[in-house]
A and B are shown apart, each in its own frame.
Chain A
Amino acid sequence: MRLAKSWIIAAKDFKTLRKKKNIIYSLVVIPLLIAILIPTVIGYVGQNKSPAELVVLLPAFLFYYVILGSYLSTPIASYTIAGEKVEKSLEPLLATPTTDSEILLGKGIAAFLPPLAAVLGGSALFMLFMDLTTKGKLGYYYFPDWNSAIVVLLLLPLALLMSVQMNVIVSSRVTDIRAGQQLGALTMIPFVGLYVAGELNLINLGDTSNLLIIVAALIVVDVLLFFVSTATFRREEILTKWK
């Protein structure tokens, strides 16, 4: 596999994405909104909470960005293949001397990097605003700590990667772009489930070893998904069965 080929495809998709205003707005506005809204709410609600209660609440909020990463990658990832098919541009692309893996990796990079930048930026702002809001109550800056570093620097990119790959698989299999987006959005479910489980105290998301187990599981899933996406990418079906 030649990475340069994948990068050419990704660079072209970045150029195309820059023209999709609604996608750019959602990449900028939603992470920013969460970064401002949650610390503001905590600023008010937190006045009635003890420092011990606040410390329990805060780690789970970063999971919003894990969920958000999956959410934001769906339209881009669905667009990468389904969008090419809608624009009828997949046939000339497939006729170039490029392998399926190179195309899929390029599409994956294009769907991975913009939401990653958005959620990393958003989560950095979130931690900054949250520190400013809670410093008075806690007496110290809560973020960053080792757990938040694991969530932001490991769990979030791996979760996003999983979502992107699932979306690429779905968008190369379904015959309709909207169906692709709806099915692709389901990739958020595991992370919503984790967040809910954390809130219900079924899992402690503030525990480093729990986070590392989730990270390890995601690494395995991501590697498997790459092979599945390559194996399920059927250029022939895409060309002959899509309407």
Chain B
Amino acid sequence: MIETKNLTRKFGDVTAVDDVTFRVEEGEVFGFLGPNGAGKTTTVRMLCCLISKTSGEARIAGYDVGKNADSLRIRKLIGLVPDNVGLYDDLSAYDNLDFYGKLYDCPDAQRKENIQRFLTMLGLWEKRDAIAGTFSKGMKQKLAIARALIHEPRLLFMDEPTANLDPESAKTVRDFILELKKEKRTIFLNTHNLDEAQRICDRIGILNTKLIATGTPQELEKALSSGGGTRKTVVLLQEQATDAVLAGLRKLSGNVTTEGNKLTVELKDPEKENAAVIEAIAKAGGHIQSVTIAGASLEDVYLKLVKEGGGS
């Protein structure tokens, strides 16, 4: 659905997006993770034909992003939730959606049906006649999502859709994205919320001007572990860890921490080494409730890669 090759954008001497190559398949939720100023918004703007690329190639559903003739076709295929919601504050929620539905050539019946459907899904149908300017941030964000979906685009770009939202609104938005995922829509999600990326995205690209890594969250975690990183085994004991238990474990790992009856042991390969951990605890007289492998978190991967890539 999206294909870029050496995509680059410069603003004067400043390179905002540098030589970025990736693919997003149809029906996939692709997360673009990166710190502020990493070039996430610039990439989305280039892909939405809002700004031009300096060099490289980008195609959306086979259409060339740089070609004027293809630009309108691409914009018809996509929906955009920008980082600033950009609603018409003087118009009602219904009128905001109606306006965009008309611009996207939605036939009357379909437009009305979609307005009702999306406002209902997002819990805003009862507020359809209220002026958008009176909405809370969360409600505005939901309305912006409904606006981007009004013409049922094949590809949805979302630029930090949960940024600045309270936890409850953020959860509603995330749940809605998961609903869209079930409908097999292709979603390109810009975020710097690692938890969100891990929960929602099929694959993730880590961007810091350059694309540092791409893969599923699991692949990225695994890559970090195999690249000299460590993973964690978390053991819950029935009692507080004794000195004997800790001493036994420290023979296996240089990094053992304890917090109440919870033990965290850093290991290179927990799948192979956990048997030895269990044996060491039992030998020292400890009683195990549960053993889990925590692994390197996406946060670990992200921080490591961004740091290595010269994070801003």
Which A residues lie at the B interface, using CB under 8 A? 5, 8-9, 12, 15-16, 19-20, 87-99, 235-236, 239-240
> What residues of chain B lie closer than 8 Å to A87, measured between beta carbons?
86-89
Is B22 close to A, CB under 8 A?
no
Of the candidates B86, B99, B103, B104, the one having the most CB atoms from chain A within 10 angstroms of its own CB is B103
Complex: A20 Cα to B78 Cα, angstroms? 32
Residue of B nearest to A18 (CB): B90
Contact across chains for A235 and B72 when beta carbons are under 8 A apart:
no
Name 30 interchain pairs, CB-CB below 8 A, sorted by A.
A12-B88, A12-B91, A12-B99, A15-B90, A15-B91, A16-B88, A16-B91, A87-B88, A87-B89, A88-B82, A88-B86, A89-B88, A91-B80, A91-B86, A92-B80, A92-B144, A93-B86, A95-B48, A95-B80, A96-B100, A97-B73, A97-B76, A97-B105, A98-B103, A99-B72, A236-B50, A236-B51, A236-B52, A239-B45, A239-B50
> What residues of chain B lie closer than 8 Å to A9, measured between beta carbons?
103
> What residues of chain A lie closer than 8 Å to B99, measured between beta carbons?
8, 12
What number of residue pairs across chains A and B have CB atoms under 8 A from each other?
Answer: 75
Complex: A16 Cα to B91 Cα, angstroms? 7
Contact across chains for B84 and A19 when beta carbons are under 8 A apart:
no
Interface residues of B in 67-89 (CB under 8 A from A): 72-73, 75-76, 78, 80, 82, 84-89
Majority secondary structure of chain A interface residues (helix, strand, loop or mixed)? helix
Residue of B nearest to A235 (CB): B50
Complex: A8 Cα to B111 Cα, angstroms? 14
A91 touching B88 in the complex, CB below 8 Å, given contacts A8-B102, A15-B95: no
Picked from A15, A89, A96, the residue with its CB within 8 Å of the CB of B87 is A89
Contact across chains for B75 and A96 when beta carbons are under 8 A apart:
yes
Contact across chains for A5 and B103 when beta carbons are under 8 A apart:
yes
A91 touching B84 in the complex, CB below 8 Å, given contacts A8-B102, A15-B91, A19-B90: yes
Q: Closest CB-CB distance, B101 to chain A, in whole Å?
A: 10
Interface residues of B in 234-258 (CB under 8 A from A): none
Is B147 close to A, CB under 8 A?
yes
> What residues of chain B lie closer than 8 Å to A97, measured between beta carbons?
72-73, 75-76, 103-105
Contact across chains for A91 and B50 when beta carbons are under 8 A apart:
yes
Which B residues lie at the A interface, using CB under 8 A? 11, 45, 48-52, 72-73, 75-76, 78, 80, 82, 84-91, 95, 99-100, 102-105, 144, 147-148
Contact across chains for B147 and A92 when beta carbons are under 8 A apart:
yes
Residue of B nearest to A237 (CB): B51
Residue of A nearest to B77 (CB): A97
Residue of B nearest to A96 (CB): B103
Complex: A8 Cα to B102 Cα, angstroms? 7
Q: Closest CB-CB distance, B71 to chain A, in whole Å?
A: 9
Not counting A9-B103, A240-B51, a sample of 11 additional A-B residue pairs whose C-beta atoms are within 8 angstroms of each other reads A15-B90, A88-B86, A89-B87, A90-B86, A91-B82, A93-B103, A97-B72, A97-B75, A97-B104, A235-B50, A236-B52
A88 touching B72 in the complex, CB below 8 Å, given contacts A95-B50, A236-B52: no
> What residues of chain A lie closer than 8 Å to B48, measured between beta carbons?
95
Contact across chains for A89 and B86 when beta carbons are under 8 A apart:
yes
Residue of A nearest to B101 (CB): A8
A92 touching B51 in the complex, CB below 8 Å, given contacts A8-B102, A16-B90, A239-B45: no
Complex: A95 Cα to B148 Cα, angstroms? 10
> What residues of chain B lie closer than 8 Å to A239, measured between beta carbons?
45, 50-51
Residue of B nearest to A89 (CB): B86
Q: Closest CB-CB distance, B37 to chain A, in whole Å?
A: 14
Residue of A nearest to B45 (CB): A239
Complex: A89 Cα to B85 Cα, angstroms? 7
Contact across chains for B85 and A88 when beta carbons are under 8 A apart:
yes
Q: Closest CB-CB distance, B81 to chain A, in whole Å?
A: 8
Q: Closest CB-CB distance, A235 to chain B, in whole Å?
A: 7
Residue of A nearest to B92 (CB): A15
> What residues of chain B lie closer than 8 Å to A95, measured between beta carbons?
48-50, 75, 78, 80, 82
Q: Closest CB-CB distance, B253 to chain A, in whole Å?
A: 51
Complex: A149 Cα to B147 Cα, angstroms? 46
